[in-house]
Amino acid sequence: MRLKDKVAIITGAANGIGLAAAKTFAREGARIAMADFDEETGSNRAAELSADGYDVAFFQVNVADRASVDSLVQNVLGYFGKIDILINNAGITRDGMLHKLSAEDFQKVVDVNLTGVFNCAQAVVPAMVQQGSGRIINTSSVSGIYGNVGQTNYAATKAGVVGMTKTWAKELGRKGINVNAVAPGFIETGMTAAVPDKVIEQMKMLVPLGRLGLPEDIADAYLFLASDESKYVNGTTLHVDGGIMM
């Protein structure tokens, strides 16, 4: 019960890594706001966790839309009474080589992966400052650290997330709020299911552990950064990628 009675907002919790995080956090005693654009899947997954006895509720949100994020935060405060942890996990890809990438696809990824992270953090911080404690965990990527063919837009946002993480760690540390990031490698979710097999095989060969990661591998890293065991960890980016690049 490493998160007993902690209230966590997890964005992108309907699928993939966010869903695994919701399950892991629930088992550790957290009360969870599962926030996602995908209302149907998200509310079904939340209902399943509630039926298992966990304190979980679904909230529909578009992280790219500030008004939607503000409503999310107000609704979560109304429902759970506080916010201890924000997992900024929602993200999208719109891959394309630089010469083919449209301005729309560049902007769309920025809106969700960069502005979305900013929106959610800015919206939860007043409540965390008021209670004098909080954890914000952002999701970067191996692509943001080392670059990746076909991911101009995505890599830019995931590198930007690292910069925001360090900045907020400096701004918010004295207010009792730790801010860290996780940089996953290639993880088996819907996001990587769209990657051509040839690229996946190449990636597997580059990973010293010899496999793609599982959503639970990232959920465990979120758990560490949300728990008391990381109370002196601030501003770091934890690479959870099987050692794909060092």
Question: Binding-site residues for NADP(+), please?
Answer: 62-63, 89, 154-158, 187
Q: Minimum Å distance from CB 128 to ligand NAI? A: 20
Q: Which one of 79, 146, 154, 232 is the catalytic residue?
A: 154
* Minimum CB distance to ligand CAA smaller for 54 or for 154: 154
Strands (E), the chain: 7-11, 31-36, 56-60, 85-88, 134-139, 177-184, 237-240
Dist CA 214 CA 136 (whole Å): 22
Rounded to a whole number, what is the distance in angstroms from the first to the last CA of the chain? 33
**Cross-strand pairs, 60:** 36
Least distance (Å) between residue 237 CB and ligand CAA: 13
Report the residue from 15, 24, 178, 180 that binds ligand NAI according to the rule CB under 6 A.
Answer: 15
Find the binder of ligand CAA among 80, 106, 154, 168 (CB under 6 A): 154
67 binds ligand NAI (CB under 6 A): no
- Judged on CB neighbours under 10 Å (0-12, 13-18, 19+), 231 is exposed
Question: Is 232 assigned a catalytic role?
Answer: no
Q: Should residue 97 be labelled a site residue for ligand CAA when binding is judged by CB under 6 A?
A: yes
- Among 130, 134, 157, 164, residue whose Cα is nearest residue 235: 164
Interface contacts to ligand CAA, rule CB under 6 A: 93, 95-97, 100, 141-143, 148-151, 154, 186, 191-192, 195-196, 199
